[in-house]
Amino acid sequence: MGHRDYFHLVATKSSTKNTPPGFARHGLTDEQLVAILRTMLMHRRLETRGFELNRQGKIPFASAGEGHEAVQAGAAMAFVRGKDILVPYYRDLGLDLGVGLRPVEVLLSLFGRADDHSGGRQFPHHYASKQLGIYTISSVLAAQLPHAVGAAFAMKYRNERDRAVLTTVGDGATSEGEWHESMNFAAVHKLPIVFLCENNEWAISTPLDKQMANPNIWQRAAGYGMPGVVVDGFDPIACYAATKDAMDRARSGGGPTLIEAKCYRFLAHTTDDDDRTYRSREEVETRRKDDPVPKFERLLVEAGILSAEGLEALKRSVLAEANEATDQAEAMPYPLPEALYEGVYADDFQPWR
């Protein structure tokens, strides 16, 4: 079911006029606003599910994007399906959902099942979908950026207008040499690409002040000769607007943009990390007060875009879909041992034989 179908189930009315003062929707319709909220709710639901399944011993690993819901759902709304390419990093569940990945596809990845797009061979949360334009990625920080830049270079080289690449990293990956080389190359060749940095202030256990001396990553853009933008990563509409503006510029030949979305990571880095060893509960609880998910729920209810009942219905539909996806994926078979060599070489060539 696409976001259009849900809209008619839960929205109070189909209007773009019904907004309280001070609420800038940047051209987003009620339908799109509800779709953004649904992506955020599904994002959080599937994150929680990943941790639950890991603690139940059913899946080996999950990473967590709680606190990134707004930036990812907002940015995904600026992605044009069927045209743009997404090169995400490992904490981008919301972006993947936002560009069209279905919860069952997410669960197939987490369960490592044969029907997963990577045949159950990729790391959990490393989604890929040729159909949706989502690149498969490496866990190695910043390794995806030269690939993203290569895709953008191909678009320019082939003169494919009205297309752009959206690529993301966390704050830690900006310290990698590949980040620098990618930014510079994209700027030199004016490539159709948007670099979205989701700055959650923690690179696993490394806090921002040990990662960089100037915490404003967007300010590096000027050095490369491209626009740099900073945006509140807890505000999905602001994130949409900044990404839309940058993607439109990229698609029309205006070159790359660096966007820094300031957000926070509420959970540990992954199911294999205990963040109590390096940051206080007080810090996390303080930041939870700005949790973007309930904040955006309130905004849509107060704006009259969603009723209280509509919101409840939306949450129930998200839970139902997450449950169905879990059951469906869990029931699927693992890859067979004899499939190990498939997709490695073309045809029957097996040099190890």
Active-site positions read 265, 269, 278
Residue 204 binds to other proteins (criterion: CB under 8 A) = no
Q: Which pair of structure tokens corresponds to residue 14?
A: 């189909």
CB 335 within 8 A of CB 119: yes
Q: Rule CB under 8 A: choose which of 220, 251, 262, 269 binds other proteins.
A: 220
Residue 219 binds to other proteins (criterion: CB under 8 A) = yes
Residue 190 binds to other proteins (criterion: CB under 8 A) = yes
Cβ 216 to other proteins, closest distance in Å? 8
Quick count: other Cβ atoms within 10 Å of Cβ 139?
Answer: 13
Size of the residue set binding other proteins (CB under 8 A): 28
- The residue (of 213 and 336) whose beta carbon lies closer to other proteins is 213
Q: Single out the segment in contact with other proteins by CB under 8 A; choices: 25-33, 49-57, 170-178, 264-272.
A: 170-178
Q: Long-range contacts made by residues 287-294, C-beta under 8 angstroms, separation at least 24?
A: 287/67, 290/234, 290/264, 291/67, 291/234, 291/266, 292/40, 292/67, 292/69, 292/70, 292/233, 292/234, 292/235, 292/236, 292/263, 293/40, 293/41, 293/44, 293/69, 293/70
Cβ 50 to other proteins, closest distance in Å? 32
Q: Which pair of structure tokens corresponds to residue 241?
A: 């607007």
Residue 138 binds to other proteins (criterion: CB under 8 A) = no
- The residue (of 185 and 296) whose beta carbon lies closer to other proteins is 185
Q: Single out the segment in contact with other proteins by CB under 8 A; choices: 71-79, 92-100, 211-219, 329-337.
A: 211-219
Residue 188 binds to other proteins (criterion: CB under 8 A) = yes
Residue 3 binds to other proteins (criterion: CB under 8 A) = no
Q: Single out the segment in contact with other proteins by CB under 8 A; choices: 59-67, 182-190, 274-282, 290-298.
A: 182-190
DSSP 310-340: HHHHHHHHHHHHHHHHHHHHHTSPPPPGGGG
Selection from 71, 84, 127, 97 nearest residue 259 by Cα: 71
- Give the angle subtended at the CA of 147 by the CAs of 74 and 51, to the nearest 5°: 50
Residue 253 binds to other proteins (criterion: CB under 8 A) = no
DSSP 120-131: T-SPTT---BTT
Residue 176 binds to other proteins (criterion: CB under 8 A) = yes
Residue 184 binds to other proteins (criterion: CB under 8 A) = yes
Residue 224 binds to other proteins (criterion: CB under 8 A) = yes
What is the DSSP-derived secondary structure letter of residue 206? Answer: E
Q: Rule CB under 8 A: choose which of 29, 175, 307, 328 binds other proteins.
A: 175
- The residue (of 177 and 337) whose beta carbon lies closer to other proteins is 177
Residue 179 binds to other proteins (criterion: CB under 8 A) = yes
CB 127 within 8 A of CB 96: yes
Amino acid in the structure at residue 312: E
SS3 58: coil
Q: Which pair of structure tokens corresponds to residue 206?
A: 């490394």
Q: Rule CB under 8 A: choose which of 213, 331, 336, 346 binds other proteins.
A: 213
Residue 226 binds to other proteins (criterion: CB under 8 A) = yes
Q: Rule CB under 8 A: choose which of 212, 303, 313, 319 binds other proteins.
A: 212
Residue 223 binds to other proteins (criterion: CB under 8 A) = yes
- The residue (of 73 and 261) whose beta carbon lies closer to other proteins is 261
Residue 173's contacts (CB-CB under 8 Å, 6 or more residues apart) are 89, 141, 142, 145, 179, 203
- The residue (of 221 and 325) whose beta carbon lies closer to other proteins is 221
The pairing of strands 228-232 and 257-262 is parallel
Cβ 52 to other proteins, closest distance in Å? 37
Quick count: other Cβ atoms within 10 Å of Cβ 156?
Answer: 17
User: Cα(343)–Cα(270) distance, rounded to whole angstroms?
Assistant: 29
Residue 225 binds to other proteins (criterion: CB under 8 A) = yes
Judged by the rule CB under 8 A, the positions of this chain that interact with other proteins are 175-181, 184-185, 187-188, 190, 209-214, 217, 219-226, 255
